[in-house]
Amino acid sequence: MVLNTPPMGWNTWNTFGRNIDENLILETADAMVENGLKDAGYEYLVIDDCWSSKQRDENGNLVPDPIRFPHGLKYLADYVHSKGLKFGIYSCCGPLTCEAYPGSLDHEYQDAKFFADNEVDYLKYDWCFHPRNLAGWTLYNRMRMALNATGRNIVFSICNWSEEGSFEWVNKVGGDLFRSGGDIYDSIESIKSITYRQMPLLCFSGPGCYNDMDMLICGMYGKGNVSSPGGCTDAQYDTHFKIWCMSSTPLMIGCDVRNMNDFTKNLLTNKELIAINQDPEQRPPMIVKTDSRYIVLFKHLANGEYALSVSNFTDSQVHANVILPEIGFPADGQWVLRLRDIDTGDQIGDIAEGFNIEVEPWATRIFKGKVVKVR
């Protein structure tokens, strides 16, 4: 199975960490449907680390925690599937997961069969406690081959934080997406750090294998497992989501979707932004300008359209200059870039050479348009 667009869904880790149980998964599946997330394209419901018992059974099989998940994984998968969603789970390529639960090292085929028997659709496969004498590509190739042997289509999410130059081999070993950095936290500094670090890696993303900049923190507001004091402002969450959409990275929600405010719900279901992320051509953006103040990205979309974003990473308003010849646009006056602000719907006009954009602190503005011949 080839993923034609980046996966969209929800993951337990950012908000709940170890504090997960059966009721949370059932209620979240309900909320994803009731709050319009499923209709917006979010289809994977993924349980992260800490779902299993601390020991395998006498036959070496993984065991869901009997207190927190008394009915097992198949019960959850059936319920998630009944909602029109897909079910995901977590393991690790070492003997232990990051939270010291049983990992899948040397149990790859056994665990892959266990996942398939429980009708898992998505596996997040982490990097903690991996044996240092084995190459990472070998460990991930093992699990991809084991998943293939089950005959079930299971999305393979490689999470090795871009160590060992993994962006160069994840596609070769059958990865459908790959984490290209460390964990995100609920702070604007974390968003900024990831964004600047990812710029050189965006070119490795494309149909079939997507650069995963980590899960979304929109709507957390300083609460949860990856929280920072105060969290982020709405403008900062807006910038976070827009950059992730421009970068064609997977959109995996991390907030408690049972308790979203209107701003968060409207942001996460914004059709125009999601359309940029899910564009059929899946071309990574061009980096037009990047400095300590702002980043300008330009992205080819299907149907001859383009998206242009300007992100302000300072506490002050910036006046960003966008020079179209720097993008490769001829400044002969015969052709113009006709742009529209996707937030306001306002027509910016026909731009031939360049323009100046005012962007508020920590905000991002995105424009969509087409090239038009005017004379």
State how far the Cα of 348 lies from the Cα of 367, in Å rounded to an integer.
8
What is the secondary structure of 296-360 as a DSSP string?
EEEEE-GGGEEEEEEEE-SSS-EEEEEEGGGTT---SSSEEEEEEETTT--EEEEESSEEEEEE-
Torsion of CA 233, 235, 241, 243, to 10 degrees: -120
Q: What is the CB neighbour count within 10 angstroms for residue 370?
A: 14
Across the strands, what pairs with 318? Answer: 359
Q: What is the CB neighbour count within 10 angstroms for residue 178?
A: 27
State whether residue 211 is helix, strand or coil. strand
- Residues near 177 by Cβ (< 8 Å), separated by ≥ 6? 3, 6, 7, 155, 156, 157, 158, 209, 210, 211, 212, 250
Q: Which two tokens stand for residue 113?
A: 């069969």
Asked whether 205 and 331 are in contact (CB, 8 A), the reply is no
State whether residue 31 is helix, strand or coil. helix
Q: Comparing C-alpha atoms, which of 166, 129, 118, 165 is closest to residue 49?
A: 129
What is the secondary structure of 32-53 as a DSSP string?
HHHTTHHHHT--EEE--SS-B-
DSSP class of residue 114? H
Q: Which residues are catalytic?
A: 126, 183
Measure CA of the first residue to CA of the last residue in the chain; give whole Å: 47
